[in-house]
Amino acid sequence: MDYEVRCRNLESIRQYCANPAIAQQLCDQGALPLLDQLLHDHPRGRKLRAAAQALADRIRGWSELADAMVDPSVPWGPSLKWIREITADETSFALFLIALRLQEPFSHILKGEIGPATQVLAFWPHQEDREASLEERHAFLRAIVGIGMVLPVFCWTNSEGMHDVLKKTLALFRVWQLVDGYREVRTFLLRI
């Protein structure tokens, strides 16, 4: 198979793995050892190695995020870095948002009650080394989902000239601008 085709295939599969069910299926079918072998067998194929490593990271990221959301002893930094990576691509981000609403333990976390003192900490842009409580992690995930679900409405209303609805979404953005944590998430997600 052509080198460029292999790279594109791995990049496409990585995008599909924004869905944890697909990532788990690949993991169950032994994809990670195959990717490790690919990394080992192609020491000079920098683009192919990068695509294989990115796919392996995407697959592993789901289980690491799930663990970090239920166990406060699991380091938060790798999951935060993984969330930053998955939200950098529009298609992956959309699949990620859908998965968070449908897959356990994420859907359960998003439905849970929010404590009055829990705030979204300003983890972005560069604070992977900062630890967080489970409540802070959950609040952060809720902020990602909340803002991520409003962004398409904003884009759609803007493109369709629906000014009344656009004003309402802009009002949400203004509120988020005033809240520490939400401001950073909003700013980060607007760059997509």
- What is the tens place of the pLDDT at every residue in 168-187? 888 988 888 888 778 888 88
Contact 78, 128 (CB under 8 A): yes
Instruction: Write down the pLDDT at residue 37.
Output: 86
Q: Taking 60 as the threshold, does the pLDDT of residue 1 lie above it? A: no
In sequence order, what are the residues at sequence separation of 6 or more whose Cβ sits closer than 8 angstroms to the Cβ of residue 76?
Answer: 68, 128, 130, 131, 132, 137
pTM, rounded to two decimals: 0.83
Instruction: Tell me the C-alpha distance between 83 and 90, whole Å.
Output: 13
The mean per-residue pLDDT over the stretch 128-145 comes to: 83
In sequence order, what are the residues at sequence separation of 6 or more whose Cβ sits closer than 8 angstroms to the Cβ of residue 109?
Answer: 69, 138, 141, 142
Q: 155: domain range?
A: 3-190
Whole-number percent of the chain with pLDDT over 90: 34
What total number of domains does the chain contain?
A: 1
Whole-number percent of the chain with pLDDT over 70: 89
Residue of 113, 106, 89, 112 whose CA lies nearest to 17:
89
Confidence of residue 119 (pLDDT cuts 50, 70, 90): low
Q: Taking 70 as the threshold, does the pLDDT of residue 116 lie above it? A: no
Q: Considering the chain, what is the average pLDDT of its residues?
A: 85
Instruction: Write down the pLDDT at residue 112.
Output: 73
Confidence of residue 14 (pLDDT cuts 50, 70, 90): very high
The mean per-residue pLDDT over the stretch 113-128 comes to: 61
Report how far apart, in Å, the C-alpha atoms of 72 and of each of 68, 118, 137 are. 6, 15, 9
